[in-house]
Amino acid sequence: MNFKDICIYLGKAILFGLIMAAVFLIATSFEGSPFKSGYSKNTRSHNELSFAKAVRRAAPAVVNIYSLSIDQRSPLNSSSLQGLGSGVIMSAQGYILTNYHVIKRADEIVIALQDGRRFISEVVGSDPETDLAVLKIEGDNLPVVPINLTNPALVGDVVLAIGNPYNLGQTITQGIISATGRSGLSSGYLDFLQTDAAINAGNSGGALIDTFGELIGINTAAFKVGGDNGGNGISFAIPIKLAHSIMDKLISDGRVIRGAIGISGEPLTPVAAQILNLPDLKGVFVTGIDPDGPAANAEIQARDVIIAYGDDEIPGVETLMDKIAETPPGTKILLTVIRQGQKQQIPVFVVEKNSFEQ
């Protein structure tokens, strides 16, 4: 083999090596490549499941609430911790949402931020029916939780609960939305979100967020199966749309003003609809009338079926009670009822709830 042949042979070998190196480099640039090197502690796969970004967005705005009660018999010498819970900073002005039961017996409420700052707060207003309260602190550069009121939580959504369980410090638990529309826990028209995310003592008033870090609910109640140490539990949160509405009312009025007309009702059953000769099951079957209420004054009767409230059709009891509660006291509303097969409209004046109740 002469010198020229040797050069050609070596040149081919070098060229082949360069081509194979280029192919290898291209192959290792793709995710999931079998040629890819081991996991680096300083890098993460784009496909790795992590909620760290969501937590970073929301967690700084979730505060620890210490409710202190002073012994009136010896106010200078003793104080005791009556309640311990969490809260969520909702605005840069320092408004904080929490549960009413967290702060209801407190003489002094201390707010602890995650950055180490401490504040004495004032109670702006509270609403026992929805177990919500609004506090206010004065501070600069307060962290605010992200909120999106237009995206309702759906069954199956992944959620994170943030709070201060057992005063251990801020803790994150994860689960899904198990159900929506759970009502009757603290009022007749309150829809709860149900989740299997662990919510323990001290989580009350904390944040339930989605995987984008946006607030979707205020944690409020938990029921354990098998006692306090049971591993199974279902937890509840107040949906953010309702909580935000209550917060606005408490800030503006210091309390939630609800309308009432003094009736109770039940959904229509197929048997009742047939007896009353109704075309469908829409409406509310009136079962009780408060004798001192506006409905009694307007001569609404038991066994009437309310099918419309003003211009709005009434598909069921929850819708009717919501509309009555949201109507400002003093408003005159036309109720469309079916009585003994005949449709008629009856004017009723809405009053403030509890104004006629003993």
Active-site residue list: 101, 131, 204
Cβ partners under 8 Å of residue 76, min gap 6: none
* Phi, psi angles (nearest 5°) of residue 257: -95, 115
Q: 113-118: list long-range contacts, CB under 8 Å, 24+ apart.
A: 113/60, 113/63, 113/142, 113/143, 114/59, 114/60, 114/62, 114/63, 114/143, 114/170, 115/60, 115/143
Q: Do residues 230 and 224 make contact, with C-beta atoms less than 8 angstroms apart?
A: yes
Rounded CA separation 269/283 (Å): 10
Cβ partners under 8 Å of residue 173, min gap 6: 160, 161, 197, 198, 199
| H or E element at residue 136 | strand 132-136
Q: Which of 163, 162, 178 is nearest to 214 (CA)?
A: 162
* Phi, psi angles (nearest 5°) of residue 181: 75, 25
User: Which of the 8 DSSP states describes residue 79?
Assistant: E
Rounded CA separation 53/347 (Å): 54
Q: Which of 77, 54, 55, 81 is nearest to 66 (CA)?
A: 81
